Amino acid sequence: MSAQRDVSGKTFNYVIIGGGTAGLALASRLSEDPLVTVVVLEAGEANLEDPNILVPAQFGKTFGNPKYDWAFPVEKQQFSNGKEFIWSRGKGLGGSSGQNFCAWVKPPAADVDAIEKLGNPGWNWDEYFRYSCKSESFHPPAQEQTNLYPHTYETELHGTSGPIQTTIPFHYHAIDLLFQKTLVNKGLKTIKDPYGGDINGTWIANANYDPQTWTRSYATTGYFLPARDRPNLTVLTEATVTRILFDDTVTGQQLTATGVEFVHNKRTCQVYAEREVILSAGTIQSPQILELSGIGRAEILKKIGVEIKIELDGVGENVQDHTFLGVSFELAGSPETYDRMREPEYQAEALKLYGEGRGPQRAGITSFAYFPLSAATPEAPTLIKRAAAEVASSGVLPPGLREQLDLQLACLNDKNGIDLEIIAFPAFFTPISTPEPQKSYVTILSVLNHPLSRGTIHAKSGDPFDLPSIDPHYFERDFDLEILVQHIKYIRTMVDAEPFKSGVVREIDPGPNCVTDEEIREYIKNAHGTSWHTIGSCSMLPREKQGVVDPELKVYGTKNLRIVDISIIPIHLATHTHATAYMIAEKAADLIRASCN
Ligand SMILES: Cc1cc2nc3c(=O)[nH]c(=O)nc-3n(C[C@H](O)[C@H](O)[C@H](O)COP(=O)(O)OP(=O)(O)OC[C@H]3O[C@@H](n4cnc5c(N)ncnc54)[C@H](O)[C@@H]3O)c2cc1C
C-alpha cells in the first residue's frame, strides 16, 4: 500500500475517491494503460488476507465493526412505526463487495432498458450484458454439485475471462428442492440460466466465490491485487476525502475539478488531478461529498454552511432502497441448514472441513424467484389500479419523477414485468421469535424491488466526519406496503403445495395470530429491514429532471468530475446490486478512455 508522501501534493491523471466495488474496478481498468497515472483514496483500511472477508458463509460477521462497516444510522421511519435502522456499508478496500452476501444476481432486461428510456442513451440491456460479462469469469458447477442437484446453465450468458470469479456455491440441496419444486407446482417456470435478461421464474443463483480456493472473489482480489504492482497505480488507505477542489477563477463556464482534499493520519492534505476526479464513494457518501464541495440543493448547502458552486437539485434525492422481510417456517425432519452454525461443535467441524476445501463454509444463498404480481394473486388488476390512483393523486411531483412512476406502473401492467422477489434463506432469519436448538428452519424472504416511495440522503453538517442524514421514506407511498402484503400472502400459500406442504411443520413468524391485512401490515412494519441495495442519490437523468450526472457520468456543470458507483442508477432494478456496480465501472472505464482520445 502507498504512503502519504506518495500522494500528498502530487498530481495524477485520475483521482478516484473511494476504493470500493466500483472505485477499485475502475482504477484497475484505467491503470491498464501504463501511460496513465491513477490514485485511489479509501477511507477504510486495506483488510487484505482477512478471513472475516474471505471465508464465505460468514455473513454478518463484519456488521457493526468499525474496521469493516460504516454502520450508518437511519432517521426514524414515520410510516414504519417510528422504526430506526442501522445501514451497513463496507468500509475498507473493496467497500461493500467485501461485506456483502455474495449473491451474484443480474436484472431483467426490461428494467435496464427503463434507464435508457429516462434519457440515458447507451444504458440498455445489451450494453449491460456486454460490460457485465467483462467483469466475470464463470465456473460451471463441479461434478460434486451436479451429482447432488440438477444444475443447468448456458455458458454463453456468462463472462469467462473477467476478474470476478463466479460459480454455483455449496448449497443446502434439500431446501432448494423444497423451494424450487413447490414454486413450479404453483405455476412458476424454471429458468435454466437467469443471466440473460429473463429472470421471470424460479432459479439457482451463482455466488462470487473462487472455486479454486473457495474464497470471496471481490473488488480487492479480482481487480486490485492483480494490478497492485503497477507503477502507475497508487492506493492510499485510511484517507478520508473531505471535499473536491475546483478551479473557480474562471467564471461563467463549467467548473474544472483540480483535485481533492483529504485527511490522512490526522493531517489535511491535497492531491491534484490532471485529467479527472472520479467520485466512487457509494450511494451514501457520494452525495455528501458533492454537498461538502458546494454542489447540491441550495437549502442544504445553506444549512451546512457551504458556499454554492453548482446548484443541482437532484443531489441526495430520488433515493430508492429494496426493503425486505421474511416468513420463517420450522422444517420437518430437521434437514441440514445454516441453523446448525449456532452449535459450536458444528461450526468447528465446518471450519475444519473448510480447511480441506469442503463443507458448509462454502455455502451461498441460491434459491431465488422473481415474478409478476399477476402470478401471485388474481387481485392484481385491482391492486394495480390502486397503485395508479395513488400515483395520480400525488399532486405536484419533483421534475422527472412522474416519468419514473409511469415506467413503474407500466412494469406492473406488463405480464412479464417483475414485481415480486422471494428467496429461500436456509435458516431462521426473522427478528420476532427465537429459534429453538436442534431444530431446522427455512425463512422465505420477500424483497420490494420497485418502490414507489423516494427518500433522501444529505450532509447533516459541514463536518465531513459527521455521517449524513439518511431517510428512505419507507412506505410513504402505501402501495409499497401493499405489495409486501401480497408477498407474504403468496409465501403463505406455499404450504398448500408439495413438497412444502409435507416439508414444513409450522409457520413461526409472523405466525398464526397474524391473519388480517392490517395485522400483516403491522408485522411488515416491525420486521422489515434494508437489503443494502440503495440507489439513486446521484441519479443519471437529464439535468432538468433532477439529474446529477449525464449518460457519460459527468456531474452537470463540471468539465471533469464523474460519478462511478451505484448511486447513479435512477430507477430501481429487480436485482441485487453488486454485479451492477462492476458493470458501471467497466462501462465508465471505456467512457473515460474514449473522452481522452
Ligand atoms: C451488508 C450488505 C450485503 C449485500 N449483499 C449483496 C449481495 O449478496 N448481492 C449483491 O448483488 N449485492 C449486495 N449488496 C449490495 C452491493 O454490495 C453494493 O450495492 C455495491 O457493492 C456498491 O458498490 P459501490 O461501488 O457503489 O459502493 P461501495 O462498494 O460501498 O464503495 C464505496 C467506497 O467508498 C469509500 N468511501 C466512502 N466515503 C469516503 C470518503 N469520504 N473518502 C474516501 N473513501 C470513502 C467506502 O469506504 C467504500 O470503500 C450488499 C451490500 C451490503 C452492504
- pLDDT tens string 168-177: 998 899 999 9
Share of the chain above pLDDT 90, in %: 93
Q: What is the pLDDT of residue 58?
A: 81
pLDDT tens-digit map of 532-552: 999 999 999 999 999 999 999
In this model, does residue 240 exceed pLDDT 80? yes
| 179 phi/psi in degrees, rounded to 5 | -70, -50
Q: What is the pLDDT of residue 194?
A: 98
Q: What is the pLDDT of residue 171?
A: 86
Q: Using CA atoms, how far apart are residues 424 and 443, in angstroms rounded to an integer?
A: 6
- ipTM confidence: 1.00
Q: What is the pLDDT of residue 311?
A: 96
In this model, does residue 597 exceed pLDDT 80? no
| 572 phi/psi in degrees, rounded to 5 | -70, 150
User: Half-sphere exposure of 328 toward its Cβ, with a 13 Å CA cutoff?
Assistant: 22
Q: Using CA atoms, how far apart are residues 16 and 562, in angstroms rounded to an integer?
A: 10
Q: What is the pLDDT of residue 534?
A: 98
User: Looking at ligand 1, which residue's alpha carbon is closest to its atom 3?
Assistant: 100
Q: Can you tell me the mean pLDDT for 54-76?
A: 94
Q: Using CA atoms, how far apart are residues 319 and 126, in angstroms rounded to an integer?
A: 25
In this model, does residue 248 exceed pLDDT 90? no
Record: fold of 4-50+220-319+537-596: FAD/NAD(P)-binding domain (3.50.50)
pLDDT tens-digit map of 187-207: 999 999 999 999 999 999 999
Q: Using CA atoms, how far apart are residues 428 and 405, in angstroms rounded to an integer?
A: 35
Choosing from 17, 29, 96, 587 the residue with most ligand 1 atoms within 8 A of its CB, the one to mutate for a pocket test is 96
Please give the annotated binding residues, written as ranges: 241, 532-533
Q: Using CA atoms, how far apart are residues 108 and 131, in angstroms rounded to an integer?
A: 15
CB-based contacts of 574: which residues, under 8 Å, 6+ apart?
A: 107, 108, 111, 199, 370, 418, 421, 449, 450
395 phi-psi bin (left φ>0, alpha ψ -120 to 50, beta other): left
Beta carbon of 580 within 6 Å of any ligand 1 atom? no
Give the residue extent of every domain in the chain.
Answer: 4-50+220-319+537-596
Q: Which pLDDT band, with edges at 50, 70 and 90, does 488 fall under?
A: very high
Q: Using CA atoms, how far apart are residues 451 and 170, in angstroms rounded to an integer?
A: 32
3-class DSSP assignment, residue 134: helix
Q: Which sequence positions are flagged as catalytic?
A: 533, 576
DSSP-derived pairing of the beta strands 11-17 and 38-41: parallel
- Residue 178 CA to ligand 1 center (angstroms) comes to 32
pLDDT tens-digit map of 421-454: 999 999 999 999 999 999 999 999 999 999 999 9
Q: Can you tell me the mean pLDDT for 290-317?
A: 98
Q: Can you tell me the mean pLDDT for 244-257?
A: 87
- Residue 96 CA to ligand 1 center (angstroms) comes to 3
Q: Using CA atoms, how far apart are residues 430 and 428, in angstroms rounded to an integer?
A: 6
Q: Which pLDDT band, with edges at 50, 70 and 90, does 1 fall under?
A: confident
Out of 313-317, 542-546, 554-558, 593-597, pick the least confident. Answer: 593-597
Using the atom order of ligand 1, give the atom closest to the CA of residue 94: 49
Give the C-alpha distances (Å, rounded to integers) separating 374 from 8, 180, 417, 455: 58, 19, 9, 28
Beta carbon of 281 within 6 Å of any ligand 1 atom? yes
Q: What is the pLDDT of residue 148?
A: 86
Using omega within 30 degrees of 0 as the cis cutoff, is the peptide bond preceding 499 cis? yes
Choosing from 324, 538, 578 the residue with most ligand 1 atoms within 8 A of its CB, the one to mutate for a pocket test is 578
Give the C-alpha distances (Å, rounded to integers) separating 69 from 6, 43, 417, 530, 540: 27, 11, 35, 15, 27
User: Half-sphere exposure of 383 toward its Cβ, with a 13 Å CA cutoff?
Assistant: 22
Q: What is the pLDDT of residue 339?
A: 94
